[in-house]
Amino acid sequence: NAGVTQTPKFQVLKTGQSMTLQCAQDMNHNSMYWYRQDPGMGLRLIYYSASEGTTDKGEVPNGYNVSRLNKREFSLRLESAAPSQTSVYFCASSAGLGTGKETQYFGPGTRLLVL
Amino acid sequence: KQEVTQIPAALSVPEGENLVLNCSFTDSAIYNLQWFRQDPGKGLTSLLLIQSSQREQTSGRLNASLDKSSGRSTLYIAASQPGDSATYLCAAHGSSNTGKLIFGQGTTLQVKP
Protein backbone atom coordinates (compact mmCIF):
# COMPACT_ATOMS: atom_id res chain seq x y z
CA ASN A 1 0.00 0.00 0.00
CA ALA A 2 1.26 3.45 -0.88
CA GLY A 3 -0.75 5.16 1.86
CA VAL A 4 -1.31 8.84 1.05
CA THR A 5 0.30 10.18 -2.11
CA GLN A 6 0.56 13.80 -3.24
CA THR A 7 1.52 15.40 -6.54
CA PRO A 8 3.46 17.42 -7.38
CA LYS A 9 6.31 17.38 -4.85
CA PHE A 10 7.49 20.88 -5.75
CA GLN A 11 5.93 23.74 -7.67
CA VAL A 12 6.85 27.32 -8.47
CA LEU A 13 4.03 29.65 -9.53
CA LYS A 14 3.78 33.28 -10.49
CA THR A 15 1.28 35.49 -8.73
CA GLY A 16 -2.14 35.05 -10.30
CA GLN A 17 -1.52 31.61 -11.76
CA SER A 18 -3.73 28.70 -10.83
CA MET A 19 -2.93 25.12 -9.97
CA THR A 20 -4.40 22.00 -8.42
CA LEU A 21 -2.69 19.86 -5.82
CA GLN A 22 -3.64 16.22 -6.04
CA CYS A 23 -4.03 13.76 -3.16
CA ALA A 24 -4.98 10.10 -3.17
CA GLN A 25 -5.20 7.42 -0.48
CA ASP A 26 -5.48 3.67 -0.83
CA MET A 27 -6.55 2.82 2.73
CA ASN A 28 -10.31 3.03 2.06
CA HIS A 29 -10.54 5.96 4.47
CA ASN A 30 -13.69 8.02 4.74
CA SER A 31 -12.16 11.33 5.82
CA MET A 32 -9.54 13.45 4.08
CA TYR A 33 -7.88 16.75 4.98
CA TRP A 34 -5.70 19.50 3.58
CA TYR A 35 -3.24 21.35 5.84
CA ARG A 36 -0.62 23.99 5.29
CA GLN A 37 2.55 24.27 7.34
CA ASP A 38 4.32 27.58 7.80
CA PRO A 39 7.28 28.52 10.02
CA GLY A 40 6.05 29.98 13.28
CA MET A 41 2.41 29.11 12.48
CA GLY A 42 2.51 25.35 12.67
CA LEU A 43 0.05 23.17 10.79
CA ARG A 44 -3.35 24.67 10.00
CA LEU A 45 -6.36 22.99 8.46
CA ILE A 46 -7.51 24.45 5.14
CA TYR A 47 -10.42 22.18 4.19
CA TYR A 48 -11.59 18.72 5.07
CA SER A 49 -13.97 16.09 3.78
CA ALA A 50 -15.58 14.01 6.51
CA SER A 51 -16.94 11.57 3.94
CA GLU A 52 -17.30 11.20 0.20
CA GLY A 53 -19.57 13.92 -1.17
CA THR A 54 -19.00 16.40 1.66
CA THR A 55 -16.47 19.18 2.18
CA ASP A 56 -16.12 21.83 4.88
CA LYS A 57 -13.92 24.79 5.66
CA GLY A 58 -11.12 24.61 8.18
CA GLU A 59 -9.19 27.42 9.83
CA VAL A 60 -7.70 29.07 6.71
CA PRO A 61 -9.91 28.38 3.65
CA ASN A 62 -9.65 31.75 1.91
CA GLY A 63 -8.07 31.52 -1.53
CA TYR A 64 -8.62 27.77 -1.86
CA ASN A 65 -11.23 25.38 -3.20
CA VAL A 66 -11.45 21.61 -2.85
CA SER A 67 -13.05 18.68 -4.63
CA ARG A 68 -13.68 15.24 -3.20
CA LEU A 69 -13.56 13.49 -6.52
CA ASN A 70 -14.32 10.05 -5.10
CA LYS A 71 -13.53 8.16 -1.92
CA ARG A 72 -9.82 7.95 -2.83
CA GLU A 73 -9.08 11.43 -4.14
CA PHE A 74 -9.23 14.92 -2.63
CA SER A 75 -7.82 17.85 -4.59
CA LEU A 76 -6.94 21.39 -3.52
CA ARG A 77 -7.14 24.24 -6.03
CA LEU A 78 -5.55 27.66 -5.91
CA GLU A 79 -7.49 29.81 -8.38
CA SER A 80 -5.22 32.86 -8.28
CA ALA A 81 -2.03 32.20 -6.37
CA ALA A 82 -0.62 34.84 -4.02
CA PRO A 83 2.80 35.02 -2.34
CA SER A 84 1.04 34.45 1.01
CA GLN A 85 0.19 30.96 -0.22
CA THR A 86 3.85 29.98 -0.31
CA SER A 87 3.88 27.04 2.05
CA VAL A 88 4.18 23.29 2.43
CA TYR A 89 0.85 21.58 1.83
CA PHE A 90 -0.01 18.25 3.41
CA CYS A 91 -2.89 15.94 2.66
CA ALA A 92 -4.06 13.47 5.30
CA SER A 93 -6.70 10.80 5.69
CA SER A 94 -8.37 8.86 8.48
CA ALA A 95 -10.91 6.09 8.76
CA GLY A 96 -13.38 8.56 10.23
CA LEU A 97 -14.98 9.53 13.51
CA GLY A 98 -16.62 6.94 15.66
CA THR A 99 -14.57 4.17 14.14
CA GLY A 100 -12.03 4.04 16.95
CA LYS A 101 -9.47 4.62 14.20
CA GLU A 102 -9.20 8.39 14.07
CA THR A 103 -5.44 8.38 13.50
CA GLN A 104 -4.60 10.69 10.63
CA TYR A 105 -2.08 9.50 8.04
CA PHE A 106 -0.14 12.16 6.18
CA GLY A 107 1.28 12.38 2.69
CA PRO A 108 4.85 13.57 1.98
CA GLY A 109 3.80 17.14 1.20
CA THR A 110 3.91 19.59 -1.70
CA ARG A 111 6.30 22.51 -1.46
CA LEU A 112 4.81 25.55 -3.20
CA LEU A 113 6.60 28.80 -3.94
CA VAL A 114 4.58 31.72 -5.29
CA LEU A 115 6.67 34.53 -6.76
CA LYS B 1 -11.13 28.25 20.76
CA GLN B 2 -8.73 25.37 21.31
CA GLU B 3 -5.08 26.29 21.57
CA VAL B 4 -2.25 23.78 21.83
CA THR B 5 1.15 24.68 23.22
CA GLN B 6 4.38 22.70 23.30
CA ILE B 7 7.27 23.72 25.50
CA PRO B 8 10.22 23.72 25.02
CA ALA B 9 10.53 24.51 21.33
CA ALA B 10 13.86 22.67 21.20
CA LEU B 11 15.61 20.10 23.34
CA SER B 12 19.06 18.53 23.16
CA VAL B 13 19.96 15.43 25.19
CA PRO B 14 22.74 12.84 25.24
CA GLU B 15 22.04 9.39 23.89
CA GLY B 16 20.51 7.00 26.39
CA GLU B 17 18.67 9.61 28.40
CA ASN B 18 14.98 9.25 29.22
CA LEU B 19 13.03 12.37 28.34
CA VAL B 20 9.57 13.92 28.48
CA LEU B 21 7.96 16.19 25.91
CA ASN B 22 5.09 18.38 27.06
CA CYS B 23 1.85 19.40 25.40
CA SER B 24 -0.88 21.57 26.91
CA PHE B 25 -4.33 22.42 25.56
CA THR B 26 -6.86 25.01 26.63
CA ASP B 27 -10.17 23.18 26.06
CA SER B 28 -10.45 19.95 28.04
CA ALA B 29 -13.40 18.77 25.91
CA ILE B 30 -11.23 16.90 23.46
CA TYR B 31 -12.15 13.79 21.50
CA ASN B 32 -8.60 12.47 21.41
CA LEU B 33 -5.00 13.63 21.34
CA GLN B 34 -2.41 12.51 18.83
CA TRP B 35 1.38 12.61 18.83
CA PHE B 36 3.29 12.80 15.54
CA ARG B 37 6.90 12.78 14.48
CA GLN B 38 8.21 14.88 11.58
CA ASP B 39 11.64 14.46 10.07
CA PRO B 40 13.15 17.43 8.18
CA GLY B 41 11.54 17.88 4.78
CA LYS B 42 9.14 15.00 5.35
CA GLY B 43 5.50 14.44 6.21
CA LEU B 44 4.12 13.56 9.61
CA THR B 45 4.20 10.05 11.03
CA SER B 46 1.63 9.11 13.63
CA LEU B 47 3.16 7.80 16.87
CA LEU B 48 0.31 7.43 19.33
CA LEU B 49 -3.37 8.33 19.66
CA ILE B 50 -5.01 8.61 23.09
CA GLN B 51 -8.78 8.57 23.24
CA SER B 52 -10.40 10.97 25.71
CA SER B 53 -11.43 8.02 27.90
CA GLN B 54 -7.86 6.72 28.16
CA ARG B 55 -5.03 7.80 30.45
CA GLU B 56 -2.09 6.52 28.44
CA GLN B 57 -0.88 4.63 25.40
CA THR B 58 2.38 2.79 24.83
CA SER B 59 4.29 1.81 21.74
CA GLY B 60 7.77 0.39 22.19
CA ARG B 61 9.95 3.00 23.92
CA LEU B 62 7.20 5.60 23.70
CA ASN B 63 4.54 6.27 26.29
CA ALA B 64 1.97 9.03 25.98
CA SER B 65 -0.25 10.17 28.84
CA LEU B 66 -3.35 12.32 28.90
CA ASP B 67 -4.77 14.36 31.77
CA LYS B 68 -7.87 16.15 30.51
CA SER B 69 -8.59 17.89 33.80
CA SER B 70 -5.27 19.71 33.75
CA GLY B 71 -5.19 20.08 29.95
CA ARG B 72 -1.90 18.27 29.58
CA SER B 73 -0.33 15.42 27.66
CA THR B 74 3.21 14.11 27.85
CA LEU B 75 5.27 11.94 25.54
CA TYR B 76 7.89 9.89 27.35
CA ILE B 77 10.78 8.53 25.32
CA ALA B 78 12.88 5.89 27.04
CA ALA B 79 16.56 5.30 26.33
CA SER B 80 16.76 7.93 23.60
CA GLN B 81 18.74 7.23 20.43
CA PRO B 82 20.18 9.50 17.73
CA GLY B 83 17.50 8.14 15.39
CA ASP B 84 14.88 9.74 17.64
CA SER B 85 16.07 13.18 16.53
CA ALA B 86 13.08 14.88 14.88
CA THR B 87 10.30 17.35 15.57
CA TYR B 88 7.49 15.99 17.73
CA LEU B 89 4.02 17.46 17.32
CA CYS B 90 0.94 16.98 19.43
CA ALA B 91 -2.54 17.65 18.10
CA ALA B 92 -5.87 17.90 19.89
CA HIS B 93 -8.98 16.62 18.22
CA GLY B 94 -11.98 18.69 19.31
CA SER B 95 -15.28 17.34 20.47
CA SER B 96 -17.19 18.25 17.34
CA ASN B 97 -18.21 15.66 14.76
CA THR B 98 -15.32 16.44 12.49
CA GLY B 99 -11.76 15.26 12.21
CA LYS B 100 -10.25 18.67 12.77
CA LEU B 101 -6.92 18.60 14.57
CA ILE B 102 -5.38 21.62 16.28
CA PHE B 103 -1.61 21.32 16.28
CA GLY B 104 1.02 22.61 18.64
CA GLN B 105 4.16 24.24 17.23
CA GLY B 106 6.26 21.17 18.02
CA THR B 107 9.37 20.35 20.00
CA THR B 108 12.54 19.75 17.98
CA LEU B 109 14.58 17.02 19.65
CA GLN B 110 18.26 16.38 19.08
CA VAL B 111 19.80 13.26 20.59
CA LYS B 112 23.57 13.46 20.58
CA PRO B 113 25.67 10.27 20.21
Interval B27-63: pLDDT, tens: 888 888 999 999 998 999 999 999 888 999 999 999 9
DSSP string across A41-60: TEEEEEEEESSTT--EE-S-
In the three-class reduction of DSSP (H, G, I as helix; E, B as strand; rest coil), residue A102 is classed as coil
* A102 → closest Cβ in B32, B42, B44: B32
pLDDT at B98: 64
Question: Which of A48, A50, A49, A3 shows the shortest CA–CA distance to A27?
Answer: A3
Q: Which residue from A minimizes the CA distance to B51?
A: A100
> Model confidence over A88-111: pLDDT tens digits?
999 999 987 666 678 899 999 999
Ordered strands of the B62-67 beta sheet? B4-5, B19-25, B72-77, B62-67, B56-59
Q: Which residue from A minimizes the CA distance to B103?
A: A43
